[in-house]
Amino acid sequence: KKKIAIMTSGGDSPGMNGVVRACVRMALHMGCDAYCIYEGYEGLVQGGNLIRKMEWYDVRGWLSEGGTLIGTARCMAFYEREGRLKAAKNMILNGIDALIICGGDGSLTGADKFRAEWPSLLEELVANGTFTAQEVHPFSHLNIVGLVGSIDNDLSGTDATIGCYSALARICHAVDLIEATAYSHSRAFVVEVMGRHCGWLALMAGVATGADFIFIPEKPSEDNWREEMCSIVEHHRKIGKRKTIVIIAEGALDREGNKITPTMVKDLLADKDGLGLDTRITTLGHVQRGGTAVAYDRMLGTLQGVEAVKAVLEATPDTKTCVITINENKIMRKPLMEAVLDTKKVAKAIERQDFEEAMALRDTE
């Protein structure tokens, strides 16, 4: 009987519980045993009761729960071979030979590395006497499949990551609330949203709320962004707008690659010699990541979880580690490392201030 384990890793995102529920139930439906690894890679390294066998009813009601009920962690030990050796040992002790990981690009890179190293980890476990060659023989091929859970929608090769539409809904709701008080006092608000290297949340929230101005990492405003923003806001005020909303991604940059901060934007809007607007800053922070998943993320997590189990069962030793994506409304499988490397290219382009390249890469995603 095949034993498939599921874990969530990196930053949590709404919809991860839907993934775990779908993987557990699909694994059971296919006649396999299902396991959950609690606390991300930490659970794999520590083993013990952090690796638990799951039954159908164990995941009952999980679709409507926020965060990840099996926990997640940023695990330093897994970066070291010693940690990965312990992880391999714990998998064999539990009879697990297939792993489904839902996380961001960092977690998925770790997964691919683990799979590449697997044969040498087994050799070492035999050489140091932990297991006999016969004991490790059934585990010679490790199948790993990735699912992208992130609110940032920052992975190349997929139209949406699990959780991004929930975070977007949360941001829009928050801006709606802010707008009421902004209107009442005729104030300006600078709203900071998440997205270290990716402006998707800021951009889409700006479009969805009709914000006056948006700052994102991939496309910094022109050198004269100060004048540009002020003249747009001034125009909006002149035609009777009582509220001003500027949305800024936490990773927003100017053309020289310097960070544009909410305080810089606020000072500009409030400048007595300029617009002189009564301005406040609201940092939405982790409110964006918490809470229940919207329907789209529940649907995405469920369909992709089912596909991940199918992918694990169909994989052969020659299959590249794959990631489950959604492209033009179709659930697909793609080579995991290609998606991760393309994602890294965008971050690198932003780092060296090649913003044209960053935008071109985003456009082709």
Q: Is 342 exposed, middle or buried (0-12, 13-18, 19+ CB in 10 A)?
A: middle
Rule CB under 6 A: say whether 150 interacts with ligand F6P: yes
195, 199, 206, 301: which one contacts ligand F6P (CB under 6 A)?
A: 195
* Dihedral sign, Cα of residue 25, residue 27, residue 32, residue 34: negative
Residue with tokens 């695990």: 75
What are the tokens at 133?
A: 């060659």
> Whose Cβ is closer to ligand F6P: residue 162's or residue 182's?
162
* Region binding ligand F6P by CB under 6 A among candidate stretches 32-40, 94-102, 125-133, 145-153: 145-153
Q: What gap in Å lies between CA 146 and CA 110, rounded to an integer?
A: 11
* Dihedral sign, Cα of residue 337, residue 340, residue 346, residue 349: negative
The residue nearest ligand F6P at its CB is 11
13 annotated as ligand-binding: no
The answer to whether 33 is a known catalytic residue is: no
Rule CB under 6 A: say whether 235 interacts with ligand F6P: no
User: Mask: binding to ligand F6P, 253-292, rule CB under 6 A, as x and -?
Assistant: ------------------------------------x---
52 annotated as ligand-binding: no
What are the tokens at 207?
A: 């479009």
Rule CB under 6 A: say whether 194 interacts with ligand F6P: yes
Looking at residues 238 to 257 of the shown chain, list those that interact with ligand F6P (rule: CB under 6 A): 250
Those residues with Cβ within 8 angstroms of residue 253's Cβ, 6 or more apart along the chain or in another chain: 217, 220, 259, 260, 350, 353
Q: Compute the least distance from the CB of residue 221 to ligand F6P, in Å.
A: 21
* Dihedral sign, Cα of residue 308, residue 311, residue 317, residue 320: negative
148, 151, 322, 336: which one contacts ligand F6P (CB under 6 A)?
A: 151
Q: Compute the least distance from the CB of residue 289 to ligand F6P, in Å.
A: 6
Q: Which residues pair with 101 in a beta bridge?
A: 7, 146
Q: Compute the least distance from the CB of residue 193 to ligand F6P, in Å.
A: 8
- Distinct helix (H) and strand (E) counts, the chain: 12, 11
Residues that bind ligand F6P (CB under 6 A): 11, 150-152, 194-196, 250, 289
Sequence ranges of the binding site for Mg(2+): 105
Catalytic residue positions, numbered:
152
